[in-house]
Amino acid sequence: QEYTLIKMKVVEPLPKSLSSLAGHLVFLVAATLRPETMYGQTNCWLHPDINYIAFPVKTGEVFISTTRAALNMAYQDFTSEYGKTQVLLHLKGEELMGVALKAPLTSYDVIYTLPMLTIKEDKGTGVVTSVPSDAPDDYAALRDVQKKKALRDKFGITNEMVLPYKPVPIIDIPGIGNLSAVTACDQFKVSSQNDKSQLEKAKEMTYLKGFYEGVLLVGPHSGKKVQEAKKLIQGDMVASGEAVLYQEPERSVTTRSG
Ligand code: ZZB
């Protein structure tokens, strides 16, 4: 499985939990299969209970991901010693909530890390970028954080980090429109991020049609089909240093069930 690793830069001055990394460029790295949707990022998701590490990569930058993903990266030549990661910090997701980030392509100047409780530890980097216009999981979870003040308070999330952020129309899907995840979540009455069965239906509705019929509405590749724009936008971000390619083994040893 080939992902695009999106580098979301932690805005300086670094937050308290990362203060020992002062002087480094620090990135939360999110694995995505949809690089063409990065125009619509509104926030970054972390699981409050997942353990993350900060580790240096060859370029001198510091990445934050799960240990499992860091090890995968070490075997893909990201680190200075092949197969080895040097742990600079252990961090629980909850220590990283409300962190300000600069993310590629999005129209929002700054976006924030917010809690998502359905993140899987054994997929991607455990860091997930949020595109509520096109990903039903993201729309449902963003709505949860926007509706529930108690959830924000629990993790020290202020109103400014959440309330101004709205799904951005970036892809038109004929017959569904330019906010496909919003339309699908409404149509199937998705009640929250935990509403698995309805979210499955919403995703089914957007998935195939989005890939084969979706047309990009923004940026230099505006007007192109998603299928075509995907590789071009991935290439642009890799060339500019805003993203890197990242492979995930089909089945990792930590998830093998026998
Ligand atoms: C941006 C994006 C925009 C995504 C979209 C999806 C969609 P898949 O296809 O099931 O393999 N993701 C990545 N890592 C995790 C994780 N650890 N836990 C939960 N979700 C994760 O899913 C790949 C997508 O799942 C990734 O691509 C990421 O969200 C999320 F418009 O990034 B995506 C209909 C989907 N649309």
pLDDT digits (tens, 9 = 90+) for 75-109: 999 999 999 999 999 999 999 999 999 999 999 99
Mutate to test the pocket of ligand 1, among 123, 182, 209, 248 (most ligand atoms within 8 A of CB): 123
Element (DSSP H or E) covering residue 137: helix 136-147
Contact predicate 20/26, CB 8 Å? no
68 lines ligand 1 (CB under 6 A): no
Across the chain, mean pLDDT equals 95
Query: What pLDDT digit, counting tens, does each position of 197-221 carry?
Result: 999 999 999 988 888 899 999 999 9
Residue 257 CA, chain-centre distance (Å), reads: 27
Query: What pLDDT digit, counting tens, does each position of 156-183 carry?
Result: 999 999 999 999 999 999 999 999 999 9
% of the chain residues with pLDDT over 90: 93
Measured CA to CA, the distance from residue 142 to residue 175 in angstroms comes to: 24
Residue 136 CA: nearest ligand 1 atom is 34
Mean per-residue pLDDT for 20-25? 97
If you measure from the C-alpha of residue 23 to the centroid of ligand 1, how many angstroms do you get, rounded to a whole number? 31
Which pLDDT value is given to residue 257? 42
Which pLDDT value is given to residue 210? 86
**Nearest alpha carbon, ligand 1 atom 7:** 135
Say whether the ipTM exceeds 0.85: yes
**Nearest alpha carbon, ligand 1 atom 34:** 135
Measured CA to CA, the distance from residue 58 to residue 80 in angstroms comes to: 5
Answer whether residue 249 shows pLDDT above 90. Answer: no
**Alpha-carbon torsion (220, 31, 249, 116), positive or negative:** negative
Question: In this structure, which CATH number among 3.90.740.10, 3.50.50.60, 3.40.605.10, 3.40.47.10 belongs to the domain 2-247?
Answer: 3.90.740.10
**Alpha-carbon torsion (105, 107, 110, 113), positive or negative:** negative
State the amino acid at position 148 in one-letter form. K
115 lines ligand 1 (CB under 6 A): no
**Nearest alpha carbon, ligand 1 atom 5:** 135
129 lines ligand 1 (CB under 6 A): yes
Which pLDDT value is given to residue 250? 78
pLDDT band at 256 (very low <50, low <70, confident <90, very high): very low
200 lines ligand 1 (CB under 6 A): no
205 lines ligand 1 (CB under 6 A): no
pLDDT band at 258 (very low <50, low <70, confident <90, very high): very low
Residue 207 CA: nearest ligand 1 atom is 34
If you measure from the C-alpha of residue 33 to the centroid of ligand 1, how many angstroms do you get, rounded to a whole number? 7
Which pLDDT value is given to residue 254? 55
36 lines ligand 1 (CB under 6 A): no
193 lines ligand 1 (CB under 6 A): no
Measured CA to CA, the distance from residue 220 to residue 69 in angstroms comes to: 32
Tokens of residue 114, six digits: 């917010």
